[in-house]
Amino acid sequence: MTNHTMTTRHHLDHRLLKRLLRQIWPFRWRAACVLVLIILANLDTVINSLYIGLLIDKYIQPMLASGSHDFTPLMLSLMTMSCIYLFGVVVSFLSEYLMIPVTQGVLKNIRDKMFVRLQHLPLEYFDNNKFGDIMSRFTNDTDTLEQMIGRSLPNVITSITMIIMVVITMIYQSFYLTLVAAGVIGVMMWVSAMILKRSGRYFVIHQKTLGDVNGLIEETISGQKVIKVFSHEREAIRDFTRLNDKLALNNQRANAYANVLMPIMINFGNLQYILIGIIGGIMAVNGWGGVSLGLIASFMYLSRNLSRPISMVSQQLNSIVVALAGASRIFALIDEQPEEDNGQITLVNAKKTHGQLQETRAHTGLWAWKKPDGQLVELEGDVRFEHVTFSYQPGKPVLNDVSFYAQPGQKIAFVGHTGAGKTTITNLLNRFYDIDAGTILYDGLDIKDIKKADLRRSLGIVLQETNLFTGSVRDNIAYGKPLADWSAIEAAAKTANADSFIQHLPQGYQTKLEGDGSDLSQGQRQLLAIARAALLDPPVMILDEATSSIDTRTERLIQEGMDNLMAGRTTLVIAHRLSTVRQARAIMVMDHGRIIESGSHEKLMKQKGVYYQLYTGAFELE
């Protein structure tokens, strides 16, 4: 089913509307007060319309007939009418005032649900969805909900209750005149339905297209340097113009119908007003149906209050359709299946007493895996891949029957062309993805039996792409260990040789970073990422192109710190610079998802195979 078909169907999905209305349930008492106030405001309007007929028939007409100049009864009646109007103003203000926290409370809860679900989604979701489209759900789609809950929904409720009250009052006053009004209203509703049917479809498509535009804008802004380097501005403008034209066209089509709706409804209301005046006048002159001058005036006022809410409902239905389109995208995110975690083995701090492992709350530098039965297994860092096969897309394996082992404290390196499957190995060890076949063992335990959070907590990772967050340098180093003290943070920075450049920043460790650390060089950003991993003091380190973005001088500065960091730890290294992996216990040469060569640097050089050609420059990594 195409996205167009799916989104077009949502404006008819009553289940979606019910689910959206259920979001108001936590605020039901305040919403109930708003409903009562809306009813009172409408009742006030109806009473005023009846009071107009009372003024004409009981005060103005008798005064004109008798020629009386005593205006006291009329003035008292007008004062009473003014009080009724004032009451309507007060209850209308209170209903608007009380609705604000309901609207904002619902939006807050929805954003909370989206963000919480976002944190528990598998990495695959972010690989398959544009960041701009995800952001659009937090911004544009929630904006449509704000318009619906804060404006459209109260207006629809106000209009419906007004219609019910007015119809009952009109029937009570004159059944025949009510039939006249009903005939005009029937035509109004038919025309409204035809217009809404056309405009609603384009409003739904507009919401989807808006997400695509935001996605392109996000990509363009984040990739601005690349665009300028490759002089791609013209193509970027062309791509944006194409999507923006599509957005404008859908918006134009939707609003072409929506904007014409209100003038048509207003003119139908005027037609109704005229017909009631003419037919009511004929009935009054001929004494039919007990119609009086005051009743005609009152009835005409009521007819205005009948056609206006019908027009309002028609107009607000467009906003509701757009909001439902946004709601469908929001609930689609909330309903995404969270990352599965069936592991029961946890990571705990441990100590040895008389050679026996014991769990402890204090950080001792010794970790243990705790099985469901309470048995402790010391975390040593023994990693084994046994006949592992994996594919991101069915039928297109990225790893084929890969087997290797890394004993505690060993440094294992992976080299090979881009796309050979090196980074995939680290993704599988972290369980960002689950394997198709084979087994991954960690200290003899199947990683599927280990809770994902504990598994990842045991791994220190420095990725090729560095991500820094808004906050101080200290906060970024302590990102994985927020309660770390100053001495530990400084020690981690010194280990990565980041302390020197940090001390030269304007506020040192308190220097605030923004925009993913855009004020820092690529090498400095990478040093902070290494310091962040060092602070965790993990038993296993994964370095995915950890020095790929660092110049040769900076690389020499951090090499000693990296060697200290890797000492005594199992380390998996992925590197393009083969000079950084010479000291590895074993080097795995990968090609098209398979390990085609393995051994020490000296052994592989003697073989004069692929690694030899890579190292001597017979052909280079890409």
- How does DSSP assign 223-238, residue by residue? THHHHHHTT-HHHHHH
Is residue 215, in this structure, part of any structural domain at all?
A: no
H helices within 10-55, ranges in order?
A: 14-22, 28-55
Q: What does pLDDT average to over the chain?
A: 81
Closest residue by Cα to residue 102 from 148, 136, 71: 148
CB 295 within 8 A of CB 57: yes
Q: What is the DSSP string of 553-565?
A: HHHHHHHHHHHHH
- Integer Cα distance of 113 and 393 in angstroms: 29
Between CA 494 and CA 531 the distance in angstroms is: 8
Residue ranges making up the domain that contains 537: 383-616
Q: CA–CA separation, 193 vs 503, rounded Å?
A: 68
Half-sphere exposure of 15 (CA within 13 A, CB side): 3
Number of separate domains in the chain: 3
Residues 406 and 300 in one domain: no
484 and 544, same domain (yes or no):
yes
CB proximity list for 367: less than 8 A, separation 6 or greater:
347, 348, 349, 350, 378, 379, 458, 539
Please, which pLDDT band fits residue 446 given cuts at 50, 70 and 90? Answer: very high
d(CA 350, CA 14): 55
Helix-strand-coil split of the chain, %, nearest 5: 65, 15, 25
End-to-end alpha carbon distance in the chain: 39
Amino acid at 581: V
Given a contact cutoff of 8 angstroms between Cβ atoms, the answer to whether 275 and 303 are in contact is: no
Do 152 and 282 have their domain in common? yes
Residue 621 within any structural domain of the chain: no
Give domain status of residue 234, yes or no.
Answer: no
Average pLDDT (469-483) is: 86
What pLDDT score does 556 carry?
67
Residues 369 and 387 in one domain: no
| The predicted structure's pLDDT at residue 545 | 65
Does 331 have pLDDT greater than 50? yes
Question: Are 345 and 228 contacting, i.e. CB atoms less than 8 angstroms apart?
Answer: no
> At which of 274, 301, 334 does a domain end?
334
Q: Is residue 83 part of a domain?
A: yes
- Token pair for residue 67? 């020629």
On whether the CB atoms of residues 289 and 174 are closer than 8 A, the answer is yes
Q: Are residues 394 and 497 in the same domain?
A: yes
**Where residue 6 falls among pLDDT bands split at 50, 70, 90?**
very low
Average pLDDT over every residue of 358-384: 88
Give the pLDDT of residue 205. Answer: 73
Query: Is the pLDDT assigned to residue 298 strictly greater than 70?
Result: yes
CB atoms within 10 A of CB 83: 10
Is residue 269 one of the residues assigned to a domain? yes
Lowest-pLDDT range, 241-250, 277-286, 384-393?
Answer: 277-286
Q: 590: domain CATH number?
A: 3.40.50.300
pLDDT of amino acid 444:
92
Token pair in block for residue 500: 């020197």
**Predicted pLDDT at 109:** 93
Q: Coil, strand or helix: which one is 493?
A: helix
**Is the distance from CB of 477 to CB of 462 less than 8 angstroms?**
no
What is the reported pLDDT for 418?
76
Distance CA 252, CA 259 (A): 10
Residue 171 has pLDDT above 80, yes or no: yes
Please state, in angstroms and rounded to a whole number, the distance separating the CA atoms of residues 368 and 460: 16
Q: Give which of 49, 50, 148, 158 is closest to 95, Cα–Cα.
A: 158
Q: What is the mean pLDDT of residues 486-513?
A: 87
pLDDT tens-digit map of 502-559: 898 888 889 888 766 777 877 788 888 888 888 888 888 888 765 555 566 666 666 6
By the 10 Å C-beta count (0-12 exposed, 13-18 middle, 19+ buried), 197 is classed as exposed
Mean per-residue pLDDT for 380-387?
Answer: 91
pLDDT of residue 203: 67
Residues 455 and 538 occupy one common structural domain:
yes
Q: Which whole-number Å values give the CA distances from 461 to 371, 483, 566, in the listed order?
A: 25, 19, 12
413-438 per-position pLDDT tens digit: 888 877 788 888 888 998 988 899 99
What are the distances in angstroms from CA 225 to CA 140, 230, 358, 465, 544? 27, 9, 53, 16, 23
Helix (H) or strand (E) holding 406: strand 396-406
* 3-class SS letters over 342-363: CCCEEEEEEEEECCEEEECCCC
Whether 270 and 374 map to the same domain: the answer is: no
Give yes or no: residues 373 and 388 share one domain.
no
- The string of pLDDT tens digits covering residues 215-233 is 777 777 767 666 765 677 7
pLDDT of 257 > 70? The answer is no
Is a pLDDT exceeding 60 seen at residue 189?
yes
Q: How far apart are CA 594 and CA 398, in angstroms?
A: 9
Q: How far is it between the farthest Cα atoms of the chain?
A: 126
Position 10 scores a pLDDT of 41
**Average pLDDT, stretch 60-64?**
69
Q: Taking Cα atoms as reference points, which of 534, 536, 546, 538 lies closest to residue 466?
A: 546
Which amino acid does the sequence have at 18? K
Coil/strand/helix, residue 69: coil
One-letter identity of residue 219: E
Answer yes or no: is 226 within a domain. no
Token pair 């590197």 in the structure block, residue:
575
Asked whether residue 11 carries a pLDDT value surpassing 70, the answer given is no
- The rounded Cα 292 to chain-centroid distance in angstroms is 60
SS3 readout for 76-109: HHHHHHHHHHHHHHHHHHHHHHHHHHHHHHHHHH
Query: What single-letter amino acid sits at 212?
Result: D
**Do 112 and 62 fall into the same domain?**
yes
Q: Is residue 367 part of a domain?
A: yes
Give tens-digit pLDDT for 75-99.
887 788 788 889 888 998 999 899 9
Together in a domain, 396 and 355:
no
Residue 619 has pLDDT above 60, yes or no: no
Pairing state of beta strands 471-472 and 512-513?
antiparallel
**How far apart are alpha carbons 111 and 336 in whole angstroms?**
15
Is residue 189, in this structure, part of any structural domain at all? Answer: yes
The span from the CA of 288 to the CA of 279, in Å, is 11
pLDDT at 4: 38
DSSP label at 418? T
Within this chain, do residues 488 and 596 fall inside the same structural domain, yes or no?
yes
Same domain? 364 vs 409: no
CB 304 within 8 A of CB 346: no
C-alpha pair distances (Å), 412 with each of 57, 322, 527, 580, 584: 99, 54, 22, 12, 6
User: Between β-strands 396-406 and 383-393, what pairing exists: parallel, antiparallel or unpaired?
Assistant: antiparallel
Pair of tokens at residue 537: 């003091």
Amino acid, single-letter form, for residue 211: G
Query: What does the pLDDT read at residue 447?
Result: 93
Q: Is the pLDDT of residue 37 over 90?
A: yes
pLDDT for 5 equals 36
What's the CA gap between 58 and 297, in Å, rounded?
Answer: 13
Which ranges of 430-510 would DSSP assign to H, the alpha helix?
Answer: 452-457, 473-477, 486-495, 499-503
547 dihedral zone (left: phi>0; alpha: psi -120 to 50; beta): alpha
Highest mean pLDDT among 108-117, 203-212, 476-485: 108-117
pLDDT for res 482: 84
Using CA atoms, how far residue 338 sits from 14, 140, 393, 434, in Å, is: 26, 24, 19, 14
Question: Residue 68 belongs to a domain with what CATH number?
Answer: 1.20.1560.10
Predicted local distance difference test score (pLDDT) of residue 622: 44
